[in-house]
Homo-oligomer: A and B are copies of this chain.
Amino acid sequence: MARAVAVTGLYRNLPKAARDAFHDYLALNFLPESFRLKAAAEAYLAAPSAKTANELAVASASPRRELIRRLNIAPGATAVLVRMREYLLKDMRQRPQWMPLEQDLRDLFASWFNRGFLELRRIDWNTSAAILEKVIAYEAVHEIRGWDDLRRRLAVDRRCFAFFHPALPEEPLIFVEVALCRGLASSIEPLLRVGSPSDDIGKADTAIFYSISNCQPGLRGISFGNFLIKQVVEELRAELPGLKQFATLSPVPGFRGWLTKYLVGDNILPEKERDAIRMAADQAALGTHNPPAISLADAATKRVLLQLLATYLTDPNDGAGPQDSVARFHLGNGARLERLHWAANCSHRGIAESLGMMVNYLYEPSMIESNHEKFESLGKVAYSPDIADLLKNGPRDRSVTAPVKRFVRSRGLFQQSLPIVASAPPANAKQAIP
């Protein structure tokens, strides 16, 4: 115990070089006993069976894992170990030798942070300032600009829930923000506006999940997001029987990048323009976003862009499913692609990611199971009749995208927003789902 306290205390304050050396030390030592492991490997190869496989698993288990468990005895050690994995993940490309250590941590975390041990807590104005402050810091989708902004998001017509682990009692692991309203929300701005009056939740029929944020980079890949949404749906149903619909209002972070390639790859673009776009992507010039550009788009352009978005979000990709990370998260959870919205997020980031468009994914309890299975096994995306309609009339012939290119180029949309994508990722503590 005393040693666990000493080691974790030291580690907390180690300068980077020493820390890296410590990682090396942990990763390269604490190997399983080679004599015994060789024997087990040979026995398995000679006669593969449940028994020899199990004996091989036992013989190959690294004593490092037991070491980590013992470190975890020290008060506060779990937080230190989560931080350790965060460091490892950040530099793993340069330090592939850390893999065994990272994998041991990941495996332990998968056990420790098992959903069965997590506690769902409502976050509201009665929550401690210490935790609320972290919600402000960890919000990764729509930045919270101070306490007034936060307060609006915790008002009577909003809900916020987080998962906590008993060993990290003041650290949310993931949280979701929900707006209670009538019908599917079609734009993010009204939901976030500070000072807007609260709606009468007695009349609300829809819960809109408008932001989900993972809080701990060191827990990357240990998934609880899907459990969170489903359990919050249950909580809300119990509290507000008037709610009939549970859906997200989600960004499409990958659309603009995909569109760029799509347009570029399209050979009708002359080389000169392609070069211009590439250059733009490299520029670091920061422009302010320009909502009028979006609102000025003519109906045809708007239609084509929505069709392209539908195409992007439903592309089966030979069974792998669409590439957009947010889409994969919700579709993988069994949600259905429900509706696309034009000019739904005209913030700088909204324009940069998806030309201001946003998406509703619908969580319809009776369909979740089958949606999930079709998606997982075949990459098949469930979508609503609205989307079907868009797709049916969508740009099969790529020439139809010409007006889009003209619009995009004329408004300088790429130029003004690409630098954001090229710039640094959001602060380490923040990870938008997934």
Partner-B contacts on A (CB < 8 A): 1, 27-29, 31-32, 34, 37-38, 41-42, 44-45, 48, 50-51, 53-54, 56-58, 60-62, 66, 69, 72-75, 77-78, 97, 99-100, 103, 107-108, 110-112, 114-117, 119, 125-130, 132-133, 146-147, 151, 166-167, 170, 227, 230
B-side contacts of A62, CB under 8 Å:
53-54, 57
Given contacts A60-B56, A77-B116, whether A227 and B1 have CB atoms under 8 Å apart is yes
Nearest 10 pairs of A and B residues by beta carbon: A54-B100, A111-B111, A57-B60, A41-B41, A72-B116, A166-B166, A126-B128, A73-B115, A125-B130, A56-B60
Please give 10 more A-B residue pairs, beta carbons under 8 A apart, in addition to A58-B103, A72-B116: A34-B48, A51-B99, A53-B62, A57-B60, A75-B116, A78-B116, A111-B111, A112-B112, A116-B167, A126-B170
- Of B48, B69, B110, the residue contacting A114 (CB under 8 A) is B69
B-side contacts of A167, CB under 8 Å:
116-117
B38 in contact with A45 (CB, 8 Å):
yes
B51 in contact with A41 (CB, 8 Å):
no
24 contacts between A and B (CB under 8 A): A32-B57, A34-B48, A37-B53, A37-B56, A38-B44, A41-B44, A41-B56, A45-B45, A50-B100, A51-B99, A53-B60, A54-B103, A57-B60, A57-B100, A66-B110, A72-B115, A73-B114, A74-B116, A75-B116, A112-B112, A126-B128, A126-B130, A128-B129, A129-B151
Q: How far is the CB of A394 from chain B (nearest CB, A)?
A: 36
B72 in contact with A50 (CB, 8 Å):
no
Q: How far is the CB of A250 from chain B (nearest CB, A)?
A: 22
Q: How far is the CB of A4 from chain B (nearest CB, A)?
A: 9
CA A418 to CA B107, docked complex, whole Å = 49
CA A178 to CA B108, docked complex, whole Å = 35
Q: How far is the CB of A11 from chain B (nearest CB, A)?
A: 15
Q: How far is the CB of A29 from chain B (nearest CB, A)?
A: 8
CA A48 to CA B40, docked complex, whole Å = 13
- A109 (CB) vs chain B CBs: closest residue: B111
B45 in contact with A41 (CB, 8 Å):
yes
A57 in contact with B61 (CB, 8 Å):
yes
B117 in contact with A166 (CB, 8 Å):
yes
CA A32 to CA B53, docked complex, whole Å = 7
CA A42 to CA B41, docked complex, whole Å = 8
Given contacts A42-B45, A51-B100, whether A127 and B125 have CB atoms under 8 Å apart is no
CA A74 to CA B227, docked complex, whole Å = 11
- A38 (CB) vs chain B CBs: closest residue: B45
Given contacts A60-B60, A100-B51, A112-B114, whether A126 and B125 have CB atoms under 8 Å apart is no
B-side contacts of A48, CB under 8 Å:
34, 37-38
- A154 (CB) vs chain B CBs: closest residue: B129
Q: How far is the CB of A58 from chain B (nearest CB, A)?
A: 6
- Of B1, B56, B112, B125, the residue contacting A230 (CB under 8 A) is B1
- A119 (CB) vs chain B CBs: closest residue: B166
B-side contacts of A41, CB under 8 Å:
41-42, 44-45, 56
B50 in contact with A97 (CB, 8 Å):
yes
A31 in contact with B60 (CB, 8 Å):
no
Given contacts A45-B41, A60-B60, A126-B130, whether A112 and B117 have CB atoms under 8 Å apart is yes
- A112 (CB) vs chain B CBs: closest residue: B111
B-side contacts of A166, CB under 8 Å:
117, 119, 166
B-side contacts of A133, CB under 8 Å:
125
CA A108 to CA B112, docked complex, whole Å = 9
CA A166 to CA B119, docked complex, whole Å = 10
- A57 (CB) vs chain B CBs: closest residue: B60
CA A115 to CA B107, docked complex, whole Å = 18
CA A237 to CA B227, docked complex, whole Å = 32
B-side contacts of A74, CB under 8 Å:
116
- A151 (CB) vs chain B CBs: closest residue: B129
CA A128 to CA B151, docked complex, whole Å = 12
- A128 (CB) vs chain B CBs: closest residue: B126
